[in-house]
Structure 1
């Protein structure tokens, strides 16, 4: 998740914990120190199968709610609920996620499109 979404390790850890909670799994995520130590020797290669012909990129976004549990534990007070958007660029033929960007909830897909396209190598883009 860290490599796929370009997150810092602490962000990726929190993201995975939130995803597990959302889908109802009672799994624990390793602590930061263990993950930090293990990531030094972990090589991540996300293969891309590639589609035949020009790339048809489907772009859509979905909102996710992040609760400020850490902030509430650290400073007391109510949990802050923050909404973010995950913008995805998906290859229409293979259904692989080719580009991802996380923004504030007020940002639409159109302004993010140039950033999504930058994540795709130029030789795989269709210009026309």
Structure 2
């Protein structure tokens, strides 16, 4: 764990030959002035800016220093070009940038969007206007962000699930969410996307079994009735949902209220410890004990 956290502070940056060769966009016959830089340098600069929390001008200077240090035959976009190009960058699918696990754990949280600053409020005698956005995300058992979506507050968690599932191309075995996602539409959406998936969503305390009594939701209801809610959640593996809560906490503490999931995935992978279960066997009085 300590070594992983230390690696987060190590600055080891390099540019591949492919990135350098594609630093400039390919020539096209389109009308108008061609772009001077491809999307690669813009994304690279924005990635480093987010990781090190630098303003645009300082990020430009940092990249110029790196280019000189690596003796790379490239030029760095200026801060105004980075700002303009960042608006229209293509949207990447997170699940294609990693090797996803077998779990999909869904959760959502609210992100505050600030309005005018205090100086503007006092000078123009205007009221502070702050609104909210809702962040919906999905993680796997390796704490990797598979997909994230930013919506208005009116879009609740269950409504956003179909759009999140569309962005997950890799097959998964288990889908986990909290009780707010309980309902037949969510089960149907998950099983339509992945027919063999196991859906683990604790039903409401007033939930009743369906007429057929053969759905996965009916099975969860039966387990809770027989063993209680806490024991039933342990039997179904519902406790893994805390991975999504940890991702939300990590998102807000490390990245903040800005949507930069790719950078967060790389930082998370550097600090996640590798856990190994160790079995210790002892023999006393002819009996075998396992700790």
- TM-score, normalised on structure 2? 0.27
The change in CA–CA distance for 1:34 and 1:106 in structure 2 (over 3 A counts) is: same
Choose from 97, 100, 103 the match for 2:145: 97
* Greater per-residue helix proportion: 2
Say whether residues 1:83 and 2:132 are aligned partners.
Answer: yes
Q: Tell me, yes or no, if structure 1 residue 35 matches structure 2 residue 97.
A: no
Give structure 2 stretches of 5+ with no counterpart: 1-41, 58-78, 87-91, 173-193, 197-291
In the alignment, which residue of structure 1 is the partner of 2:195? Answer: 127
**What is the aligned partner in structure 2 of residue 67 from structure 1?**
114
After superposition, give the CA deviation of every residue in 1:74-125 in whole Å (9 maximum; x if it has no partner). xx5233100111001111x21111111111223221110000001111x424
| TM score, norm. by length of structure 1 | 0.56
Question: Secondary structure, in 3 states, of the residue corresponding to 1:124?
Answer: coil
More strand by share: 1
Task: Check if 1:114 corresponds to 2:162.
Answer: yes
How many residues align structurally? 96
Unaligned 5+ residue runs, structure 1?
A: 1-8
Give the 4+ runs in structure 1 shifted more than 2 A: 36-39, 44-47, 76-79, 123-128
Q: Check whether the contact 2:106–2:136 (CA below 8 A) recurs between aligned residues.
A: yes
Change (3 A) 1:29 1:69: farther
Cα 1:80–1:119 change in 2 (3 A) is: same
Residues 114, 68 of structure 1: alpha-carbon distance in 2 compared, 3 angstrom cutoff: same
